[in-house]
Structure formats: C-alpha cells, structure tokens
Amino acid sequence: MSTARTAIDFDRSGKQIGFVDIPHSPHEDAWGATRIPLAVVKNGDGPTVILQAGNHGDEYEGPITLGELIRELDPGLVNGRIIFLPAVNVPAVLAGRRTSPVDGLNLNRTFPGDTNGTITQQISAYVTNVIMPLGDAYIDLHSGGSSLNILPSAIIEPAPDPGHRKRNIAAALAFDAPLTVVIDNLGEPRTSTATSVRAGLTTVGTEMAGAGTVSLEALGICRRGVRNVLAHLGVLPPTDKPPQAKPENILRIPGHDGYVLATTNGVFEPFHALGTLVRAGQEAGRIHNLGDPSREPETLRYAADGIVYGNRQPGRVECGNCCVTVAARYDGDLR
C-alpha cells in the first residue's frame, strides 16, 4: 500500500495546484517528504488526459510547457479533466540530472514501480497505481537531455491491439511535430509509455531537442503540440490549423541497428548533422584518443539506412555510449 498522500481532490471541478507527498526520512530530515508537483483542471464530462514531464530531470521543454499551461489554462475551456505531473521526478528535475540524486535510479526504467521501494520506485508506483487508472490518455514529454540532441518529434509507443495502435498513431500525428517516430526502446517494458499502453491508455511521447539546454524551436513545438493533442482528444476546443503530419511520413528507429555505439573511450567526432540521409556501412564518425596522439582514431559506421535522428552530447564518450541514432521509414501496420 502506498504511503503517498495529496490534498487534491481528483473529482472536484475547477483548478487545483498542489503536491503529492511521499514520506522520506534521510539523514537530514527525520519526518520529511519528497513533494511531487501535481495539478488538476476539471470541467464538464469529457475524457481525462494525463500530462507528464520531468521523467528525466535534464529535459526541460516539457516541464516549462506544462508549468505555463497550469498557470494560464482557463478551466472554462476544458471539457473533461487534465491531470498534470509537470516535474514527476522532482529530485532529478531540481538537480538537472537524468537519474535521481536520491537513489541513482532512472525513473523511466522503474515502471510499474514498487510502493515499498526507493523514492524513484515509489513515484513510478504512484503514477501506475493511482494516476493511470484515472486516465483515458497519457502524454509523456521528453527531450534528448544532456547526452543527446534529437530532432523534435512526436513518439508513437507501439500497441499490440490494432485499435489501440490506431489511437496512438492518430494522437501522435495530431501533436503535429516536424517528425513522427515509432520508438519501442528495444521492447523495454519498464518505461512509463509502455506501462500506459498496458493500461489501455491512448499514449503519446515526445523527443524535443536536448543537448542539456532549452531549444526555442522545440519549446514552441511542444507548447503547440500539447494543445493540439488536447484538442484532438476533445478536452480543449478545436484549433484553427489542421495538422500537417501525415501517416506516410512516419519514421522508426530500426531496432539495434538504429544505434551507433561507442567502441572505446575518447572524444566522438560526428561526420553528419541531424537530418542527414545516411546508409548502412557508411562512416558515422570517429573516436579520438586525445591522450595518445600516436593512436589512430577508431571509426564507427552506420548499420541502417535512414536519417541522422540524434547525435551525442557532449563529445566525451565511454565504450557503449550512444553516439548517433538513425531513424528509417516506418513499414509497420498503420491500420
């Protein structure tokens, strides 16, 4: 049983802004709590949409977008309920880190969580057990963070049921990002979006640039995209601009071959800018050993055709780090 508590009433109409308190007793605080920001806007009888950001603490466009929407949104415009988790992994958000400084865990690899586990595991358990059952749709806003710079895109989480898959695709296209990409994280079941799909929710993810900074372009895309999906789901009034994203332009990361991994420690020199068309076998870049100028750089090659979708940030790499990500044309079922 979860010990997390909130004063917010999920069934009350209007706008409520507060916290979920998870008891936390480190050396510095005997009876304290980790406070997860939470807001609910409810009006009318439409669907419930869960908006989440700050899953990783070094991804900033999502938390900025949701914070603005919480402050600005008029409940009278809402038909249904919006549940906001704008900084769900708050210890990591406050530290600007991908993983939590409290327990070292990556929240997006702990779902469905553990009510008796560490703080990160308790957060994912609360989202899984308390928040997701309230929802009809779930939008998880990500960016590339401090280790990747990714072309701004809406993400389709695969669903085995054809009807569910169709809902996910339609919602991702409604976001209307410059790219729409299918990403299954190599079948990883411990992500928030994979858990949302298992719960039956219409599910959308994003990747909004990254490189450890705030992209003005990506922030604009994120602001518009969230409102676009809320309109698509009937929670906000329709927008006056039809989406430009088309099913025939959907991309995907083609499994293991879509990731170019470092084969040694050093500094990675990429050979291609984001968006460049590349082919399998082509040189992707090279890793320099700056401490030994007699050593030739080690060359990395692409294993798939496609476009350069993400590039490593910063230059320093260790063996196994992702240096480049490739996205290719999606050839799966769009029905």
Q: Which residue in this structure is represented by tokens 């350069």?
A: 308
Q: What is the pLDDT of residues 287-304, one digit of tens each?
A: 999 999 999 999 999 999
CA distance 60 to 213: 7
Residue 334: per-residue pLDDT: 67
Residue 335: per-residue pLDDT: 61
Q: What is the pLDDT of residues 174-216, one digit of tens each?
A: 999 999 999 998 889 999 999 999 999 999 999 999 999 999 9
Q: What is the pLDDT of residues 118-166, one digit of tens each?
A: 999 999 999 999 999 999 999 999 999 999 999 999 999 999 999 999 9
CA distance 124 to 92: 14
Which residue type occupies 85?
L
| Total count of residues recorded for the chain | 335
Residue 318 has pLDDT above 70, yes or no: yes
Do residues 250 and 156 lie in contact, with contact meaning Cβ atoms separated by under 8 Å? yes
- Name the pTM for this structure: 0.96
pLDDT cut 90: percent of the chain above it: 91
CA distance 291 to 266: 9
Closest CA to 115 of 5, 18, 30: 5
CA distance 191 to 5: 23
